[in-house]
Structure 1
Amino acid sequence: MLEDIEGLTVEQLQQSLPITIGADPRFSKSLKPLLRQLEMWINFQALKADWYGDDNFILSFDFTLVRSLEEKQLTADSWVVETGYAYHYESSNLTTIAFIAIDDLVRDGAGIEQEIKARLTAVANTIAVQHGLLALE
C-alpha cells in the first residue's frame, strides 16, 4: 500500500484514504482543518492496528458530522442507531456510512474533539471486530 501513495499530492492522498470524514454542508467551512486532522488521526490508528495489511480486504468508512441524528430520519431496519452516532455497514463492499452527531457535545462544551474521536472509533471498532481486526485505541 505504501508504494501506491508515493508521488500523490496531499489532496489525492486524502481522497484515497479508506476512512474519510466530512461535515454536513450547513456547518462552517472553518471546520475543515479539524476534519482533516481527525481523518489523518483515525487512518493512522487503523494503520497502526494493521487494518491495511491485506490489499484485498480493506474496510472503508465514510463519516459525516451532523448536528443531530433526528434530522437524518434514518430507517431503523438498515441503520444501527446508538447515542451520538448511526451507521450502515454494507458487507458486500466492506463499506460503512456513518453519521456522528455533535449537538449534545456542543451543549456540554468540554472535550468535544475527544468525544468525536470516541464516536468514530466506536463505529470503526464495531465493524473491525466482526472481521477479526484489532480494535483502534
Structure 2
Amino acid sequence: MTEQLPISISVCDDLVQQFTKIRSVCNKLEAQFNFQTMTANWYGNEEVVLSVKLFIETANSFDIHKHAQEQAQSETKNYSDDVFSYYYNSEKTQTLNCYIAITDSELAMLNQQHKILAGLLHIKLQKVLNLIAKQLALGAI
C-alpha cells in the first residue's frame, strides 16, 4: 500500500483530453514540490499533518467549483482571479484544497505551443505554493 504524499496534483478531464502529457508533467511536479516543501520544513508538526491538494481546472470548471464553494458558505481564500482555496479539517490532517484555473489566454498559448506546458505549470503552481507558504508562515520553495 502506498502512502499519500502531502502535496497532490489533480487535473480536470477536459485538460487531460487536450494535453496528453499533462498527467506525466504533473506527476513530476508533484514529486518535486513534495521534496522542496519537505526540505523547507513544511511538515515539522507531526501532531497535525498539512496536506495540500492542487486542482488544475479549465476556466469553466474552476467557476463551477468556486460557485459551489460559495453556495456551501465555506470560508474560502481568494489568491487571485484564477486561484482560491479552502480548508477541510479532520482529526489528524489539515487539508487545503486549492483550485487553480488555466485561463483562456493561457489555454490559447498552450494550444499554440504544447512544449511550454511543463514550464507554465511549474511557474504557476510554485507561485501558488509560495502564496500558501506565506499565508501559513512556512518557508518559501
Larger RCO (alpha carbons 8 Å, 6+ apart) = 2
What's the % identity of the aligned pairs?
23
Distance 1:57 1:127, change over 3 A: farther
Distance in 1 (alpha carbons) for counterparts of 2:106 and 2:48: 34
Structure 1: gaps of 5 or more residues: 1-7
TM-score (norm 2): 0.69
TM-score normalised to the size of structure 1? 0.71
User: In 2 relative to 1, CA 67–114 (structure 1 residues): closer, same or farther, beyond 3 Å?
Assistant: same
Root-mean-square deviation (CA, aligned residues, Å) is 2.7
Contact 2:14 2:58 in 1 (8 A): no
Within the candidate set 65, 69, 80, 1:72 is matched to 65
List alignment gaps of at least 5 residues for structure 2. none
Is 1:26 aligned to residue 17 of structure 2? Answer: no
State the distance in 2 between where 1:88 and 1:80 align.
Answer: 6
Q: How many residues align?
A: 124
Q: Which has the higher strand share?
A: 2
Aligned to 1:4: none
Letter in 1 for 2:65: K
Letter in 2 for 1:114: G
Q: Is the 8 A contact 1:87 1:99 kept in 2?
A: yes
Q: Which has the higher helix share?
A: 2
Distance in 1, Cα, partners of 2:26 & 2:65? 20
